Amino acid sequence: MSEEPRIHTPGALAGEDELDLSLRPRRLAEFVGQDSLREQLSVSLEAATARGEPLDHVLLAGPPGLGKTSLAQIVAAELEAPFVQTAGPALERKGDIAALLTALEPGAVFFVDEIHRLNRALEETFYPAMEDRRLPITIGQGAGARVVTLELPPFTLIGATTRAGLLSTPLRDRFGIQHRLEPYAPDDLATIVRRSAEILDVRLEEDGAHAIAERSRGTPRVANRLLRRVRDWAEVRGSGVVTAQAADSALALLEVDELGLDRLDRDILSALCRRFSGGPVGLTTLAVAVGEEADTIEDVYEPYLLQQGLLRRTPRGRAATALAYEHLGLQAPEPAGLW
């Protein structure tokens, strides 16, 4: 059996505890869902291994919590390569990138999360590194400055982004493998919940797994978080077994409804329907009305509401749909007549 990849996290953002790491799949065969992506990645990995070359650079895009970091770690494991992780916001100077790239071992997987948050000047540092495995370094200042080019070992850069449109075209085009992860189907999420329950030694019934999966917003990270909270409720208030009834009771306590909407989701819809007559209303105004940052609403809450058909984006702002009124138990206003 091959070794697990060595994981280093210079400059990486904190927040992954040991429990979260233990729930991550370690090999491509363990990764659930994203069938097309898994098949394409499997072919690319097998071909690179057969040629004895590093895998081409990979760009993984998609909403948070769908498994971009897990896939990056899986690539390193499949290649039996060291795994070095950082994040776009942690890279503030060209020297930060130079220090990481020059310290890479041959064949290493270098993972940059939130790569869209690199500033343009730093992006340009990656261009020669990705294409030619060279890193030009300017030594000195003024008329006496000179450029020294450092040779880099072969490596694979994996970038993860929730907003691929913010990447510059020159950087995006240098990724030979590009994939977008999509929200998961309930059946795939139920499989993930069952696997996590086994790892956590949670007694789980099939209907309990599906009850959690259906409220997980198509996101494995949310499914695992809800499983832990339902487990707590089952151990304290229930029989210790995660059933559909236990899931319903625990998620009601968490204010997560049957569509997977939490309190702030409903506050957003309620503000649109009750205070602004369904909209349209500007994002900044909506953010003030619910007491949340506009960026958080746009990046975290709005995508799921759009996917569920509860919210519309219009040139004049956000508007609630008839489904939003129905979900809140409100009467939708009659369409304005034409005169």
The structure tokens listed for 90 are 């942690």
Half-sphere exposure (Cβ direction) of 127: Cα atoms closer than 13 Å: 12
Residue 69 a catalytic site member: yes
| Closest of 99, 80, 95 to residue 26, by C-alpha | 80
Residue with structure tokens 């259906």?
214
The structure tokens listed for 168 are 């510059």
Cα 119 to Cα 81: distance, rounded to the nearest angstrom: 28
Core vs surface per residue 231-252: b (16+ CB within 10 A) or e: bebbeeebeeebbbbbbbbbbe
Point out the catalytic residue in the list 86, 162, 219, 243: 162
Contact 55, 173 (CB under 8 A): no
Would you call 71 exposed, middle or buried from its count of C-beta atoms within 10 A (0-12, 13-18, 19+)?
Answer: buried
Helix (H) or strand (E) holding 286: helix 283-290
Distances (CA, A) of 235 to 22, 205, 229, 232, 242: 21, 14, 10, 5, 9
Measured from the Cβ of residue 173, the count of other Cβ atoms closer than 10 Å reads 11
Residue 221 a catalytic site member: yes
Residue 94 a catalytic site member: no
Cα 73 to Cα 70: distance, rounded to the nearest angstrom: 5
Half-sphere exposure (Cβ direction) of 15: Cα atoms closer than 13 Å: 6
Point out the catalytic residue in the list 24, 69, 194, 321: 69
Core vs surface per residue 253-281: b (16+ CB within 10 A) or e: ebebeebbbbebbbbbbbbbbeebebbbb
Point out the catalytic residue in the list 174, 194, 221, 231: 221
Residue 68 a catalytic site member: yes
Point out the catalytic residue in the list 24, 86, 113, 266: 113
* Residues catalogued as catalytic: 68-69, 113, 162, 221
